[in-house]
Amino acid sequence: MKISEKNNDIIITDQPDFELSHIFDCGQCFRFNAGCDGSYTGTAFGHTVRISKRGNEIILHSVTYSEFDSVWRRFLDLDRDYGKIKAELTSSGDPVMIDAVKYGGGIRILNQDLWETMISFIISASNNIPRIKKIIEQLCRSFGEAHIYEGKTYYSFPSPQRIAELSLEDLSVIRAGFRDKYILQCARDTASGKIDLVRIKSLPTPAAKKELMSIYGIGNKVSDCILLFGLSRRDAFPVDVWIKRIMEYCYFNGRPQSIKTISDFAESKFGALGGMAQQYLFFYARERKIGI
């Protein structure tokens, strides 16, 4: 990977395994949106960036090297060798994984803010991606801090302290329905220190999962999403209704299986790369309408 700075842009070359639509349309984050020119613009950690691709160049527009190095380099997981990961996932000759990796070969798993990930995936429960994005955008517009990027106003994700000040009536503006009470309680418990984000980050994966599942509104699937996307635990394999159907279709000849059976199968088959495998499978199956 080569990095240069030109005209207030960061230009990255020689970085394989990076496709914008694969990264931002695979269901892992909800604050990046495609522009008519094929670029994606989004906000993370209080900063906004527009990213485009031109041939072998990945361009982060209107970003200083300091901001790139402190925020976007890790967020985009640029220092991880995805070629090695894909080779390991396909080394067994599994035809399903070979096709999935080939189809979604530009996926990278983003390293997102833990607090934002917790609330985002609480909102995701029994929801669809367009509506999740709309609720999160309204949450940020209503209660986040505004900043200007390329002449437009964007909003940071509101802190737990900011949300903790609200009432359920205040929060109803985001139209999250039954999830309002989960969001508010999570914010209040985090602001008070009852939920200790630093401590959760320090725990091994099984203990972190147990801690997350003790939080009001967080169940098995949401805890695994938080582990994978907010805590960078690449062994986590979230199983929702879609992954369940995909796994049944691809690995169990369409026969119904319990979530535990699928989770145990994924752990045995994919091991420490379970989260990577899940993202390749999800993107591949959704785009190809497999198991739907």
Q: Which residues are catalytic?
A: 221
Residue 195: DSSP 8-state = S
DSSP calls for 96-147: HHHHHHHHTTT-------HHHHHHHHHHHTT--HHHHHHHHHHHHHHHS-EE
Give, in order, the Cα–Cα distances in Å from 224 to each of 80, 81, 237.
Answer: 21, 23, 6
Output the six-digit token pair for 242: 């879609």
- The set of residues, in sequence order, having a beta carbon less than 8 Å from that of 40 and lying 6+ positions away, is 20, 24, 32, 33, 34, 50, 51, 52
Residue 158: DSSP 8-state = P
C-alpha to C-alpha distance for 88 and 90, rounded to whole angstroms: 5
C-alpha to C-alpha distance for 227 and 69, rounded to whole angstroms: 24
C-alpha to C-alpha distance for 216 and 189, rounded to whole angstroms: 10
Q: Do the Cβ atoms of 251 and 284 come closer than 8 Å?
A: no
Closest C-alpha to 184, from 200, 201, 161: 161
Closest C-alpha to 105, from 119, 89, 91: 89
Q: Do the Cβ atoms of 9 and 60 come closer than 8 Å?
A: yes
Give, in order, the Cα–Cα distances in Å from 101 to each of 109, 258, 278, 291.
Answer: 14, 25, 11, 17
Output the six-digit token pair for 238: 């979230």
